[in-house]
Amino acid sequence: MNPASPAQSATVSSAPAGVPAVRLVGVTKAFGSGRSAVHALRGVDMVVPGGQLLMLVGPSGCGKTTLISIISGVLNADGGVAEVFGVDWSTLNGGRKTVRRGELIGFVFQQFNLIHTLTALENVSVPLLVRGVDRHEANDRAAQALKDVGLGERMNVPPSSLSGGMQQRVAIARALVGQPRLLVCDEPTANLDGQTGQMVMELIHTAARSNDPTGQPRVVIVVTHDSRIFHYADRIEEMEDGRLKSRPSQVILDEAKHIPHYDKPSPDSGEES
Ligand SMILES: Nc1ncnc2c1ncn2[C@@H]1O[C@H](COP(=O)(O)OP(=O)(O)O)[C@@H](O)[C@H]1O
Ligand SMILES: [Mg+2]
């Protein structure tokens, strides 16, 4: 859709203000081919403005992880357009994609995905080291990120000596240490008890209410089917069999009842001072 040249040279700071964080038009994705093909996405349209905490809900297998993998540039769409901060992923080659992903996006996974041979501090410093930040600065920033999630006293231990909730907090620190403009979380509370899940969601919610270093409002997309956290959403989209429903089902809206003005979402609806 877009000519390749402007996108190729785009950097985080050059993304124009007012461009949606995410814009998907007719996104399709299948795994395999012929009769055995699994049509994971069957045409998804979605616009996510800055400053929003969007929850993507739906049953197992409906395509949630595939969708956020395409938003994150980890998977290529087969058809349609997937733009993040105004840049179409399909216009970037592999190296540029990796750089852009590192600059813009932080991930939190259901299974935490920490490296167990490293300490918490080392885990959190990895994304900075990969981006060429020197070790001293990376350690300082990782230490601060761990303090921000309440783990200042547990930095030098391996993940295996931490509880599940603490491990997920390390993972959140790792996702936020590079100050991404987009935070993507795939079932972040699914392996946690209710109280711990609330604490983790509080941290994710706080991230959604802060700006990135260029002053742009952060965007958070949380895939979940944990109804205990629906009320943190500014907006909920429900997926079913590879598509977004035009409106979430009433049972989901009831579970998320204090989403303000759900019928009138606006770019500013999720922002607080
Ligand atoms: N790498 C893959 N190879 C084959 N099929 C896949 C692959 N990834 C996902 N799928 C299939 O695509 C569909 C959507 O999967 P997924 O996006 O993981 O759903 P969800 O995250 O909602 O559980 C499922 O039928 C799943 O089995
Ligand atoms: Mg999934």
Question: Per residue in 108-118, pLDDT tens?
Answer: 999 999 999 99
Stated pTM of the model: 0.88
- Which residues of 119-202 form beta strands (DSSP E)? 182-186
In this structure, the residue with its CA closest to atom 25 of ligand 1 is 61
How many alpha carbons fall within 13 Å on the CB side of residue 22? Answer: 28
* pLDDT per residue as tens digits for the range 237-253: 999 999 999 999 988 98
Distance between CA atoms of residues 193 and 117, nearest Å = 26
Evaluate whether residue 140 is within a structural domain: no
What is the number of other CB atoms lying within 10 angstroms of the CB of residue 8? Answer: 12
Give the mutation target among 38, 70, 238 for probing the ligand 1 site: most ligand atoms within 8 A of CB: 38
Q: Cα separations (Å) of 118 from 106, 126, 159, 160, 180?
A: 19, 10, 8, 10, 23
Evaluate whether residue 169 is within a structural domain: no
Quote the tokens at residue 209. Answer: 């209410």
| CB distance 109 to 103 below 8 Å | no
What crossing angle do the helices spanning 194-208 and 164-176 adopt, rounded to 10°?
Answer: 10
Domain span at residue 233? 20-114+179-255
Q: What is the CATH number of the domain that holds 82?
A: 3.40.50.300
In this structure, the residue with its CA closest to atom 4 of ligand 1 is 31
Distance between CA atoms of residues 65 and 8, nearest Å = 26
Which of 12-16, 88-92, 161-165, 218-222 has the least mean pLDDT?
12-16
Is 192 touching ligand 1 by the criterion CB < 6 Å? no
Is 59 touching ligand 1 by the criterion CB < 6 Å? no
DSSP state of 165: H
pLDDT of 267 over the 70 cut: no
Q: How far is the CA of 39 from the centre of ligand 1 (A)?
A: 9
What percentage of the chain has pLDDT greater than the value 90? 74
Domain count, the chain: 1
Distance between CA atoms of residues 165 and 3, nearest Å = 44
For residue 52, name the pLDDT band (cuts at 50, 70, 90). Answer: very high
Is 242 touching ligand 1 by the criterion CB < 6 Å? no
For residue 16, name the pLDDT band (cuts at 50, 70, 90). Answer: low
What is the number of other CB atoms lying within 10 angstroms of the CB of residue 209? Answer: 15
Evaluate whether residue 219 is within a structural domain: yes
- In sequence order, the β-bridge partners of residue 24 are 46, 82
Evaluate whether residue 123 is within a structural domain: no
Distance between CA atoms of residues 172 and 102, nearest Å = 15
User: What is the model's pLDDT at position 139?
Assistant: 97
Evaluate whether residue 262 is within a structural domain: no
Evaluate whether residue 97 is within a structural domain: yes
Is 6 touching ligand 1 by the criterion CB < 6 Å? no
Evaluate whether residue 125 is within a structural domain: no
The DSSP element (H or E) to which 22 belongs, if any, is strand 22-31
Evaluate whether residue 266 is within a structural domain: no
How far is the first Cα of the chain from the last one, in angstroms, to the nearest whole number?
Answer: 36
